[in-house]
Amino acid sequence: MHNSDRIWDIVDGYGQAFVALSDRVFDTPEIAYTETASAAEHARMLRASGFRVTEGIAGIPTAMIGEAGDEGPDGGPDGGPVIAILGEYDALPELGQEAGLAVPQPVGGKVGPGHGCGHNLFGAAAMLAAVALRDYLAEAGIKARVRYYGCPAEEGGAAKTFMVRAGAFDDVDAAITWHPSSVNAVDDAVSLANSRIDYTFHGRAAHAAGAPELGRSGLDAVELMNIGVNYMREHMPDDARIHYAYLDAGGIAPNVVQAKATVRQLVRARDLAGLRELIARVDKIAEGAALMTETRVERRVVSGVSNLIGNRVLSETMQAAFDRLGPPAFDAEDHAYAEAIRATLTPEHIASSFRKVAMKPRMDLALSDFVAPLERPHQGGEGSTDVGDVSWAVPTVQARVATCALGTPLHTWQMTAQGKSPAAHKGLIHAAKVMAATARDLIENPDRLRAAKADHAAFLADQPYSCPMPDEVTPPIPVAAE
């Protein structure tokens, strides 16, 4: 029933307009919850494309939904499925980089934020897929609603978790997304649930030489807490992770007993149940550090995300679309630049790209010329993403599409440098084709969509969702973004 070539032609027709959108977002990188320029560009593009736009989703000024498709006379659904396509546009701090170079060079010589995870491409490709799908459905006379979700603050901000908690996905039938990568593959839907928690220890200042017995050090408490967590690592599950950062070390004067200090602990676990167990143990260590130092500990949850859950039906649907399309068609110029980037990487970096998809490393290959098979062993090395919470709310599938040289690690200057390259632009358009075709195949095959929803419901019946973000935690919107 499907006409792959037609929906791909529609994507190609709009492609350069959305390449330009990704370049504009690249040129104005903004970190979590401050993406005002990027969000404005996305809202403007949605309106210009004929989508109905709602901004300020979940109380987040830079979150939005753009919707296209028929509505009933009362503004409600007309009976067709609702398909969500997720986009992101936030940057990372201190990863600003002049585009197109193969040496580290901050923009204008100043260290600033940059798209070290390719999110400038991410949002643009997702919106391109939504626009092409809307046009295809209109041509075919198929009733359905298409939504583009503009999602800020994925990098540590957990905006999608707040959006899920606010009910933004309650009437969605399936969600589709992607991520820039060095390989082409349907994501294996394995990630770690995580929570960022700030522990602040309140003690008492004193002269560190003249009257040290009067002081109670918050910094000592932080250091003892970190020692306790380090010893706990031997007794955690192998796939759990805990990282930390000092947010406030109490000051720069060593002759003053530091009355207050704050450490942020980032706790990761395989699933939500394991995360809660690990957090409870970390809390006990904090309480113990406070007892040992006679300080008082204050605990504040900053963010939390769930682990991804997969959906076999959606993964098979996306794999079929990917296999029909094949990998992006990179040219000699793309390969030459990729080789220059690879010269800055180690053989271990390059091998890691292949390990992610359980393939034997090919050191002679600069850009991915393959689509990884769906059936492959999982190789570990997971991070975390707030797409996880969407996957608990609605059946979800994600693609990885090559936009950079094999071996390029995310969150690096090398990734940022490739963010406006012709290869990245080709990957952007390719990702839109994969997502649009996947959505189209689901809409044209209602039995497949019903099966995906049934699988999702069966999983939740066994393991109900519980939001990892406490009700009292609100999005950390900076004053300047209001």
Structure confidence at residue 480 (pLDDT): 55
**Helix-, strand-, coil-residue percentages of the chain, each rounded to 5:** 45, 15, 40
Answer whether residue 326 shows pLDDT above 50: yes
Q: How confident is the model at residue 469 (pLDDT cuts 50, 70, 90)?
A: very high
Structure confidence at residue 4 (pLDDT): 64
Structure confidence at residue 162 (pLDDT): 97
Positions of E strands within 173-316: 174-181, 185-186, 193-202, 241-248, 260-269, 296-305
Residue-wise pLDDT for 238-261, tens only, equals: 999 999 999 999 999 999 999 999
Query: Are 37 and 123 a contacting pair, CB within 8 Å?
Result: no
Residue 52 and residue 48: Cα distance in Å, rounded? 10
Answer whether residue 363 shows pLDDT above 50: yes
Q: How confident is the model at residue 167 (pLDDT cuts 50, 70, 90)?
A: very high
Q: What is the DSSP secondary structure assignment for residue 430, as one 8-state letter?
A: H
Structure confidence at residue 71 (pLDDT): 58
Structure confidence at residue 76 (pLDDT): 47
Lowest mean pLDDT among 62-66, 69-73, 388-392: 69-73
Element (H, E) at 9: helix 4-27
Q: What is the DSSP secondary structure assignment for residue 133, as one 8-state letter?
A: H
Answer whether residue 482 shows pLDDT above 50: no
Structure confidence at residue 385 (pLDDT): 95
Residue-wise pLDDT for 11-48, tens only, equals: 999 999 999 999 999 999 999 999 999 999 999 999 99
Structure confidence at residue 378 (pLDDT): 77
Structure confidence at residue 73 (pLDDT): 44
Answer whether residue 72 shows pLDDT above 50: no
Dihedral sign (CA 466, 468, 474, 478): negative
Strand partners, 305: 194
Element (H, E) at 291: helix 272-293
Element (H, E) at 277: helix 272-293
Structure confidence at residue 2 (pLDDT): 52
Mean of pLDDT values over 47-64: 98
Residue 243 and residue 265: Cα distance in Å, rounded? 6
Taken in order of first residue, the domains within the chain and their CATH numbers are 4-191+308-462 (3.40.630.10), 193-305 (3.30.70.360)
This prediction has a pTM of 0.93
Of the candidates 76, 71, 6, the one whose C-alpha atom is nearest the C-alpha of residue 441 is 6
Residue 284 and residue 303: Cα distance in Å, rounded? 20
Mean of pLDDT values over 197-219: 97
Query: How many C-beta neighbours within 10 Å does residue 280 have?
Result: 9
Structure confidence at residue 481 (pLDDT): 44
Query: Are 337 and 218 a contacting pair, CB within 8 Å?
Result: no
Answer whether residue 382 shows pLDDT above 90: no
Structure confidence at residue 5 (pLDDT): 87
Residue 218 and residue 220: Cα distance in Å, rounded? 5
User: Across the chain, what does the average pLDDT equal?
Assistant: 95
The bridge status of strand 396-402 relative to strand 185-186 is antiparallel
Q: What is the DSSP secondary structure assignment for residue 379, as one 8-state letter?
A: -
Structure confidence at residue 458 (pLDDT): 97
Residue 343 and residue 247: Cα distance in Å, rounded? 36
| Residue 57 neighbours by CB under 8 Å, 6+ apart | 63, 64, 65, 149, 163, 166, 168
Mean of pLDDT values over 339-348: 97
